[in-house]
Amino acid sequence: MKARVIAFYLPQFHEIPENDEWWGEGFTEWTSVKNAKPLFKGHVQPKVPGELGYYNLLDPMVREKQAELARATGIEGFCYWHYWFGNGKQLLERPFDEVLQSGSPDYPFCLGWANHSWKFEDWTKYKTERTRVLIEQTYPGDEDIIAHFNKVLPAFKDKRYITVDGKPLFLIWSPVNLPDPGHFMSIWNRLAVENGLLGVHFVGLQGGPVKNYRRTLDLGFDAMCWENFYSAEMRVSWLKTYLFTKLQRICESRLLLKKYQYRDIIAHYFSEVDALENVYPTIVANFDRSPRGANKAIIYYGSTPALFKEHLEQAIECIKNKQEQHRILFLRSWNEWGEGNYVEPDAEFGTQYLDVMKECLSK
């Protein structure tokens, strides 16, 4: 059985004028990573990259090395986060545009539309101005829907683009944020057929209580990328999760640090939903958002390559009876260093997380 592991890929590791304006000259994801502090005994921060170093994604040699590592591991391809805020406004598009235009690296990819506004609170531990919107996600109408499709069409037609059932896979971060998901998807499917494609394989990202798993599928999506974080946290400690959520709504809570043992999270991560044909589970090597959120972050601690191996074996078991094209696992993530979910080599474990993946995926 071949598992199709697709890794989320963050393009935040290069400078852009907007980040210079909002956070200071030279800001990238590495800024937050380098400034992280340990918050309790045994909390390993800051995380330090391994052989790739504090890279700049505008360097094509870095992108080649990333693809080389991922390919050797057995990861099928990268899902690049793609930002389209409406009326043609994009951010962080250069790394993927250069990959597309240059044809290098020759490594599979797809796109995930991160359709959310950027807010001050997303990138800081402070309450001051936390609701200030830096750039708003908008949905201007059909003309913008068509312009958006035309922007991604060259990627869809690229031989490297990842397909499911012959259709290019396009993931949407927040399906419920779309004003009319069915209308959006019908326009894109029509345009795809007109341009020689079979259509688009739409995948909606969703988390939350297991009982609500059908929310995205009921909107008409072909499949759902199921994030089990919340449901796993609730099963580990519903009281901690409930209290933290309530306190966060009231104040900048520092009374309750929302931390969980990684071994406890993975013991409660998967459910019967993950075995469904049109559900694509996520896998996570670690999660620690403290570089961005400090005390108000969610933190999984105690992750090791051996525990990640257990987690990955459980995930493969969930998908083993699905059709070959649908045996998809989304890895969160390849390089989300500011949220502590990455598998790139680091100073603590080197390539051990990649080695574990290679062992499991080669069986």
Q: Where are the domains of the chain?
A: 4-361
With bands split at pLDDT 50, 70 and 90, how would you rate the model's confidence at 253?
very low
- Beta-carbon neighbour count of residue 243 at 10 Å? 15
Beta strand 223-226 pairing with 258-261: unpaired
In this structure, of 38-52, 206-220, 265-279, 282-296, the range with the lowest mean pLDDT score is 206-220
Q: Which residues pair with 206 in a beta bridge?
A: 226
Interatomic CA distance for residues 62 and 27, integer angstroms = 19
Indicate if the pLDDT at residue 248 is higher than 70: no
Whether the model pTM is above 0.75 = yes
Indicate if the pLDDT at residue 255 is higher than 70: no
141: tokens are 């109408």
> Sign of the CA dihedral 168, 171, 175, 177?
negative
pLDDT of residue 140: 97
In this structure, of 67-81, 157-171, 253-267, 348-362, the range with the lowest mean pLDDT score is 253-267
Indicate if the pLDDT at residue 22 is higher than 50: yes
pLDDT of residue 256: 65
Q: Pick from 190, 162, 183, 276: which is nearest to 226 by CA? A: 276
Indicate if the pLDDT at residue 211 is higher than 60: yes
Percent of the chain with pLDDT over 70: 91
pLDDT of residue 128: 44
Placement of tokens 């798993």 in the chain: 213
167: tokens are 């259709």
**Average confidence (pLDDT) over 23-31:** 95
Interatomic CA distance for residues 147 and 197, integer angstroms = 17
CATH placement of domain 4-361: 3.20.20.80
Cβ pair 222, 204 in contact under 8 A: no
With bands split at pLDDT 50, 70 and 90, how would you rate the model's confidence at 258?
confident
Indicate if the pLDDT at residue 283 is higher than 60: yes
Cα 300–301–306 angle (5° rounding)?
A: 105
pLDDT of residue 126: 47
pLDDT of residue 23: 92
Indicate if the pLDDT at residue 64 is higher than 60: yes
In this structure, of 98-112, 184-198, 224-238, 304-318, the range with the lowest mean pLDDT score is 224-238
pLDDT of residue 319: 98
